[in-house]
Amino acid sequence: MRAARGFHPGLTLRRIMRLSAIVFCLFVLANVAQGSPCARLKSQPEAWVNAKVDAFVSAARAAYQSDNALPAYEKVLDGITASIRQCKLAEDDTFRSRYGVFVEYMQAAALDRHPNHELGFVVPDEQYFAETRQYVEIPEFLMDQNFLQAVSRYETLGRAKSFLRQLNSRRETSEKLIFFSYTSRHLGTPDNDDSYRRLLIVVPGNAEKGVPDKWVQFGVTDPAARVRVRNVSVVSALPGADRTSNIYFKDSFRTYRRGHPITIAGRWELGEHDDNCVQCHKSGILPIFPVAGSVDPAEQEALLAVNQRFLTYGSPRFGSYLDERKFGPGLSSASLEVREQRFGKSFTESSVAKAMTCDACHNHERLGALNWPVDRVVISSFVTGGQMPLGHQLKVSERRELYNKLIQEYFATDKANPGILKSWLLSKLQ
């Protein structure tokens, strides 16, 4: 039987087999291409980690210096954590054995990028506030309407203090409130960046009974201002037996309605969002360094008392909600040898270099490391304003140089001489 014209069985079979092979190869290549980013990453982990660390540290420095750079920083951070998640790097024993510090840092830094984690803790905000309610509630005696009306304006602040003095007249010595008003050097309130007046009330606790000290701070409306400041913050400290204290936070807003009582509810409960607590509170509770002359002479003793009380809390901890040690060492923790390599021997003998001592107090065993993420305004104000480091008398120009050197040393990305943050992420400080 003759084959039909144009029909060649052998040739057709070869074509079918060839097409099948091509289709199979395309299928394999498609799958390889799909899995190639993670495969490439795991085949060259050092190159990937080095590139991501440089990108992250550079973006972090830009974000530290300007809020306008935050979106770019968040994009870099989101990209890194997405790769960690998609490539299952946290579950890869080989990768974690070499880059565990990098993985844990990125996961901790990205906590406030998760939905409902604005506070930056490992649990959702709702869970945090539910579990810490007993520690961060405003004391009932500070919810008195006469007091709330008086503390809402600068012009009536004297009446608010009279109310507190009356309370103290009925309290035991160990339970007496410590209070004073002052003007903050650097931080506005969450509802008004330009409001710096405060009334601070420290409510003593009882650590043996599990009752924390509560630092309750009311924002005070400026004289003659029409819009009243709403914020009330509570930062509490529960000292432990090991020279540490667990620190808890909550911001609340007052609501003013003509003819109605003043009400107070949490920012989060009101749908007003919240902030990453530890970004500002690296030391847990912050010492008070008010604008010179803003504390009444009669209240100077109270200012001294609260700052002395701050020193008794020891190292700040945040319960099971955050392991702050994952963020690594902070400002000025570089060795003298590394500092000399970066800035030169002549600099290390200068008064500015000798003042680079932040980590003498600000480390994980004492007052908490000043590491990224951290609020620029707090650091800049304390260093350039002359409050920190303690015991160093520097000129204004020297303080500016000190600040700039601290930031450069921390955020440097030099390959031969990496800064503190990069060295930590690459496990060179282990």
pLDDT for res 33: 44
- Virtual torsion, Cα 364, 367, 369, 372, nearest 10 deg: 130
Tell me the percentage of the chain whose pLDDT exceeds 90. 75
pLDDT interval class at 5 (50, 70, 90): very low
Find out whether the peptide bond into 316 is cis, omega within 30 degrees of 0. Answer: no
Measure the CA–CA gap between 157 and 320, rounded to whole angstroms. Answer: 38
**What does the pLDDT average to over 135-148?**
97
Contact 191, 231 (CB under 8 A): yes
Q: Tell me: the pLDDT tens digits for 108-141?
A: 999 999 989 999 999 999 999 999 999 999 999 9
Q: Please say whether the dihedral angle defined by the alpha carbons of residues 340, 341, 342 and 346, taken in this order, is positive or negative.
A: positive
- Virtual torsion, Cα 395, 397, 399, 402, nearest 10 deg: -130
Q: Tell me: the pLDDT tens digits for 373-384?
A: 998 988 998 898
Residues belonging to the chain: 430
pLDDT for res 22: 56
Measure the CA–CA gap between 321 and 330, rounded to whole angstroms. Answer: 20
Measure the CA–CA gap between 297 and 163, rounded to whole angstroms. Answer: 19
In a 3-state reduction of DSSP, which class is residue 190?
coil
Q: Tell me: the pLDDT tens digits for 32-79?
A: 444 578 999 999 999 999 999 999 999 999 999 999 999 999 999 999
pLDDT exceeds cutoff 60 at 294: yes
pTM (two decimals): 0.86
Measure the CA–CA gap between 158 and 130, rounded to whole angstroms. Answer: 35
Measure the CA–CA gap between 38 and 42, rounded to whole angstroms. Answer: 6
Beta-carbon contacts of 48 under 8 Å, excluding residues fewer than 6 positions away, are 40, 41
pLDDT for res 28: 44
Of 239, 248, 243, 233, the closest CA to residue 198 belongs to 233
pLDDT exceeds cutoff 70 at 235: yes
In order of 65, 216, 244, the CA distances from 384 in angstroms are 15, 27, 29
Residue ranges covered by each domain of the chain: 27-109, 129-317, 324-425
Lookup: tokens for 12: 């057709």
Tell me the percentage of the chain whose pLDDT exceeds 70. 91
pLDDT for res 103: 97
pLDDT exceeds cutoff 90 at 24: no
pLDDT for res 84: 96
Measure the CA–CA gap between 81 and 92, rounded to whole angstroms. Answer: 14
pLDDT for res 148: 97
**What does the pLDDT average to over 402-420?**
96
Please name the amino acid found at residue 218. Answer: F
State the average pLDDT for the chain.
Answer: 90
- Of 10-24, 218-232, 354-368, the least confident: 10-24
pLDDT for res 21: 54
Burial class (CB in 10 A: 0-12, 13-18, 19+), 1: exposed
Q: Pairing between strand 315-317 and 244-255?
A: parallel
Of 41, 53, 131, 138, the closest CA to residue 94 belongs to 41
Conformation bin of residue 329: beta by default, left when phi > 0, alpha when psi is -120 to 50 = beta
